[in-house]
Amino acid sequence: MSQSTSHMTEAVTELVAIGAAIAANCEPCFRHHFDSARELGVSKEDMRAAVKMALAVKATPHRKMVESAERYLAAGGPETAGAVEACLPGGTCC
């Protein structure tokens, strides 16, 4: 059985948290994890890479939602575009 080395260092954990803060639109979380990462010696370049990755991941569902809205509008509504089940039980969302 081989031993594996964990790559989840404190610095990596802070980079993940920076990405999560971006995804959650949480500025206080971002500031906290930015400060923690800086204290651990994480470079601004690595933090920028984490932000860039988070934005790329976050952009996909946004783009897909816009594409869906455009399909519904072009097709004349959900009757012709293929109805999507509501988010919540009872047929409601939000």
Residue-wise pLDDT tens digits, 39-79? 999 999 999 999 999 999 999 999 999 999 998 898 766 55
> How confident is the model over 7-23, as a mean pLDDT?
97
pLDDT: which is higher, 25 or 85:
25
Question: Is 60 among the domain residues?
Answer: yes
Mean pLDDT taken over the chain: 86
Tally of domains in the chain: 1
pLDDT: which is higher, 4 or 21:
21
HEC sequence for 17-69? HHHHHHHCCCHHHHHHHHHHHHHCCCCHHHHHHHHHHHHHHHHHHHHHHHHHH
Band of pLDDT at residue 2, cut at 50, 70 and 90: low
Domain containing 35 equals: 10-81
Question: Is 4 among the domain residues?
Answer: no
